[in-house]
Each structure stands twice: as structure tokens, then as C-alpha cells.
Amino acid sequence: RYANLMYDRRVGRGNTYALQVIPVSTQPNPLDIQRQREARKRALARKRAKEQMHPRTPEPVEGREHIHVQTELYLEEISDRIIEVDTECQTDAFLDRPPTPLFIPAKTGKDVATQIEEGELFDFDVEVKPILEVLIGKTVEQALLEVMEEEELAQLWAHQRAYAELRNAELAEVQRLEEQDRRYREEKERRRLQHIQMLQKQKETTEKIAARAFAQRYLADLIPSVFNNLRESGFFYDPIERDIETEFLPWLMTEVEETLERKVLGRTMLDSLICTVVEKRLDAFSHKPLSDLTEAPAEEPRPTDAAPQVAADQLVAEKEETDQPPAEEQPSRHISFQLEESDQAGTEDLETE
């Protein structure tokens, strides 16, 4: 690849006399340097991301501070104060010795005396004035300085109070503005959500209306056929007709069956009575008639002649039981004709019933 020599890294700049030329074989490859830089950047980025991902304890509340707490399995006592232990030991008592005499150096030189008369060296009234002036001046100056310092402190405190009041007012105004901004944001978000919900409801309403119209068009021909099929299947019925079919007709059939059973029972009993009467009358008329007994000479009744009389008495008793009027004895042909007529009448009555 060709490039401008002025921007080539291999071309030296400035004085080349003191330049230490590195052999080509030992010079690092620019691609390797760039790779190393990229790898270092990636490592720093990973480290920074790991530090950000590491869960941290939230910042303490104002007026408090965090304290390191041990969370290991085995606790270790940590104390800033070094443990001190007092120990005692007994030693031999020292022998009393005399106090050390005062050191007086050896006298050297010659003694010379000077006579000072009264008033020559120090006059208190004269010498105390400058001292008093200095002391009073210093005291007054110190008092003035203290008063000025107190006044300055009072002014500083007043200025501090005014600054604190101003700062509190500004903080209150900032909080009010922040609260107003928060309310505006919440109102904006609420209005946005209401608008989204309104649009969603309008969309749902439109979809429901469209679905209802489609369902009405689709079910316009389906509903009548379904109702017809259900009506034919018996799901829709008339309550009066259903009540008649389920309540009245079973009761009517039960009553008819009971009536028919009673009629059949009466017919059966009538048939049995008729059969019994016919058999008894047949037995009674099968014996010798009573007229022959009256034509015979009056003789004492024999045991053999008592049977027809007994049969006649039984016949009369049966007639009385069946509520028939007593009648004279008739021939067997006429009695059989009456029985046939009564049987026919009974059968006709049963058929009509």
C-alpha cells in the first residue's frame, strides 16, 4: 500500500544525531500494538461493567453513615483499641540513703561591692507609670479587639442567618418547582395513558361493532335454521301441551285402566255368577219335574223323593239372592231363552261401556 511519507511512522522527525535507531527486527508491529490497545480497552470495559453490575449498598441517609459488618461464617473480634493487661512484680526494697547535697561550684574571681543609695536605682512612682500605661493600653486594646471581634461575629452570624433564610427560601422554591414539574410530568403521563386507553377502547369498540355486524350477517340465515332444528328436535315446546302430555294424559290413562279393570272384574264376576246360576238351574231342572210329584198319590215322602224338593228350595233361595222376583216354575226351554237374553244384554252393556 502506498501512502504519504510525511505521515509514515517509520520516518524520523527532528534531530537524527542522537536518535537511537531500533533494528527493524526488534520494532513492534503496529498491528500488534493496535491489538494490544484494543485488548486493554476491552479489559477496562469489562472491569468497568463488572464494577457497575456488582450490587452496591445504597447511599446512607443524611446524618448517617455506613459501617462495615462481618458476614463471614466465623466471626472475628475487631477492635481499634489494643488490649492492655496490667501485671505486677515484686522487687527487693532499696536501702534508704541520705539526700544528695546541693552542688555548689567552686568560687572563682574576686568579690567587688557597690553601694547604692535609696532613690538611685528604682523609683516606684516614676517607674510604674509607663508599665501601667502599657498594661492599660494593652488591656483596652485587647478589649476593643474583643468587642470588634464580637461585633464581627454577630454580623457574620446575622449574615449567615440571612444566607440560610435565603437558601431555605431558594430550596423551598426549588422543591416547589420540582414538585410542580413532577405534577406536570405525572399529569402528562396520565393524560397520555388516558389517551392510549381511549384509543384502545375505541379500537376495541370498532372491532366489536365490526364483529357484531359480521356475526349478524353470518347468523342471519343460520339462526332460523338452528331454531327450526331445535324446535323439530323438541327443545322448544308449548308448556300447556307439555303439561297435558306429561301430567294429564298419564293420569287419564291410569284412571281409564283402573275403570277398565273394575269393569273387567265386574264382568268376570257376573260371568262366574251366571255360570254358577246356570249350572245350578241345570242341575235343578235335570231332575224330575214337580208336576209329576203332585199327580202321584199322596204317600209318605221317601228318602229318594226328597232330593227334587231340596233342589227346588235351593233354586228359590238363589233367585232371592240375585234380587230376582219369585216366579212360577217354567219349562227348561223358556229358562234357557231368558238366560241367553240376559247374556246378550250384558255383553251389549259391556260393549257400550
Residue 301 has pLDDT above 50, yes or no: no
Q: Are 313 and 325 in contact (CB under 8 A)?
A: no
Compare 292 and 126 and report the one with higher pLDDT: 126
pLDDT over threshold 60, residue 257: yes
DSSP calls for 263-281: HHHHHHHHHHHHHHHHHHH
For the record, the C-alpha cell of 68 comes out as 462495615
Helix or strand (DSSP H, E) at 131: helix 124-219
Q: CA 187, CA 82: separation in Å to the nearest integer?
A: 61
For the segment 2-27, what is each residue's pLDDT rounded down to a tens digit?
667 777 777 777 766 665 555 555 56
pLDDT band at 28 (very low <50, low <70, confident <90, very high): low
The stretch 277-303 carries a mean pLDDT of 64
Contact criterion met (CB below 8 Å) for 333 and 318: no
Beta strands in 67-213 (DSSP E): none
Residues 325, 286: contact at Cβ < 8 Å?
A: no
* pLDDT at residue 57 in the model: 73
Q: Is the pLDDT of residue 44 over 70?
A: yes
CA pair distance 255, 266, nearest whole angstrom: 16
Tell whether the model's pLDDT for residue 204 goes beyond 70. Answer: yes
Q: What is the mean pLDDT of residues 268-289?
A: 86
Q: What whole-number distance in Å separates Cα of residue 315 and Cα of residue 293?
A: 17
**Residue 266 CA to chain centroid, in angstroms?**
77
What pLDDT was estimated at residue 292?
52
Residue 309 CA from chain centroid, whole number: 107
State the CB neighbour count (10 A cutoff) for residue 281. 19
Residue 245 has what DSSP assignment?
I
What's the CA angle centered on 84, arms 81 and 86, to 5 degrees?
160
Greatest C-alpha distance within the chain: 233
- List the helix and strand counts (H, then E) for the chain: 8, 0
Question: Could you tell me if residue 109 is left (phi over 0), alpha (psi between -120 and 50 degrees) or otherwise beta?
Answer: left
Q: How many CB atoms lie within 10 A of CB 284?
A: 20
Confidence band of 348 (pLDDT split at 50, 70, 90):
low
Specify whether the backbone of 7 is left (phi greater than 0), alpha (psi in -120 to 50) or beta: alpha
What count of residues does the chain have? 353
Q: Which of 27-36, 158-167, 228-237, 322-331 has the lowest mean pLDDT?
A: 322-331
The model carries a pTM of 0.24
Angstrom distance (rounded) from CA 40 to CA 34: 10
Pick the range with the lowest mean pLDDT from 14-28, 168-182, 220-234.
Answer: 14-28
pLDDT above 60 for 97: yes
pLDDT of residue 339: 46
Mean pLDDT of 297-318: 44
Average pLDDT for 289-316: 46
Listing DSSP states for 2-45 in one string gives ---GGG-TTS--S--SS--PPPTTTSPPHHHHHHHHHHHHHHHH
Cα dist. 179→62, 143, 157, 190, 194 in Å? 21, 52, 32, 16, 22
